[in-house]
Structure 1
Amino acid sequence: MATALSDEIDVLSKARRVLGGSYVAEPDEPYMCEAQQDYFRRLLMAWKRLILDASAGTLQQLQDGPIREPDLNDRASSETDWGIELRTRDRQRKLIAKIDSALRRIEEGEYGFCEVTGEPIGLGRLEARPIATMTVEAQEAHERREKISRDD
């Protein structure tokens, strides 16, 4: 069974395919130029649309009726599958809020820059995680601090 993270990655990959692939920067292109911002805006909007479409499908299936499996084991399996599906949709609902935040940062000219250091996040990291708000180094430091405070 697929995990929620792999579902998220699959949907992002599908959004990339809708756009025709990953962004390839020109050698002399400035960081977060209009072309890059436009690509990430379209990627984020396609990602969001695919998530909303999948959610609509889940909602339709829920409205079609309850689980009617005659065998108790089959019913338990179906209920477990639905539980996983609903948790995935809840995770994606939270992801939509992050996508909206990234779209807002594009409009405000802050997208692609670390919220902690102000340094460029980098196209590679943004391609892998378009909702990233920190550089890899800042994220690692944040996670170390978080782990230390949890251990106390």
Structure 2
Amino acid sequence: MNLSRPVLRLASAAALAALLAGCASAPSPQPIEPPRPQFTSPITAQQVEGKWGLAAYHRPEDAARTEAQARQGCRQPYVINIGPSGGFMMYLADDSSPSEVVSKQVGNGPIYIGLPDEPPGARSDREVVRFDGQVLVLKWLDPEVAGRYGTMVYVRCPA
């Protein structure tokens, strides 16, 4: 009696069953990250590169006075350089070294300045309140940071 043929059939059937079982098990679902809105960068590094006087206010009625104070800050200017990836180098809240940031805007919405890998309006971003090439006013989105630093006023220093 030749047992090799039934054993071979049984082994083939077992291998086929194992293969089919592997195909039938669904892979564990991976979390799908929602697509981030594409943003433009309306303020370029070349537009903000340079030396700036810096001051801040907490009350809107202090904005004009703070702008005058920022002009006096040119004695010890805040320097914005172009970053290695085309953004610009600014200090984030509580950081002792500058980080590369970009301006971010979706459609005609508000303009923000923040890290390029975060969506526009991220908690660590600053909203651009005003920018005309000579004055840049930024408001922190994080309420705790805004409470400590206020609204930042940058005034371009004379060449």
With the length of structure 1 as denominator, give the TM-score of the two structures: 0.27
Structure whose alpha-carbon radius of gyration is higher = 2
Q: TM-score scaled by structure 2?
A: 0.27
Higher helix content, 1 or 2? 1
